[in-house]
Amino acid sequence: MSDLLWPGDERAGDVFTDAAVCAAMTRVEAAWLSALVLHGVATPDARDDLDGLVGPDDVAGVAAGAESGGNPLIPLLELLRTRLGARNPVAASWLHRGLTSQDVVDTGLVLCLRDAADRIGDDLAAQAAVLARLAGEHRATAMAGRTLTQYAVPITFGLKAAGWLTGVLDARDRLASAADLPSQVGGAAGSLAAPVALAGSPAAAGDLIETTAEILGLPVRDPWHTARAPLTGFADALVTCTDAWGRIANDVLAGSRPEIHELSEGAVAGRGGSSAMPNKRNPVLSVLVKRAALAAPFLAATVHAGAAAAVDERPDGGWHVEWATLRTLARRTVTAGSQTAELLAGLRVDTVRMTANLDTARPGIDAEQRSIDPGAASGDPYPGATDRIIDALIARASGVPPKKRGEGADC
Q: Map 91-115 to HEC letters.
A: HHHHCCCCCCHHHHHHHHHHHHHHH
Annotation marks residue 388 as catalytic: no
Three-state DSSP state, 58: helix
- Say how far apart CA 21 and CA 53 lie, in whole Å: 14
Which is catalytic among the residues 274, 348, 370, 398? Answer: 274
CB 338 within 8 A of CB 19: no
Alpha-carbon distance of 410 to 185, in angstroms, equals 55
Of the residues 146, 174, 247, 314, only one is catalytic, namely 314
Q: Are 112 and 24 in contact (CB under 8 A)?
A: yes
* Three-class secondary structure of residue 349 per DSSP: strand
H or E stretch at 321: helix 320-345
With a CB cutoff of 8 Å and minimum separation 6, the contacts of 176 are: 121
Note if 133 is an active site residue.
no
User: 154 phi and psi, to 5 degrees?
Assistant: -65, 140
C-alpha pair distances (Å), 126 with each of 33, 102, 113, 176, 236: 39, 36, 20, 15, 21
- Alpha-carbon dihedral angle through residues 307, 322, 336, 9, given to the nearest 10 degrees: -170
* Inter-residue contact 111 to 15 (CB < 8 Å): no
End-to-end CA distance of the chain: 55
Where in the sequence numbering do the catalytic residues fall? Answer: 274, 314
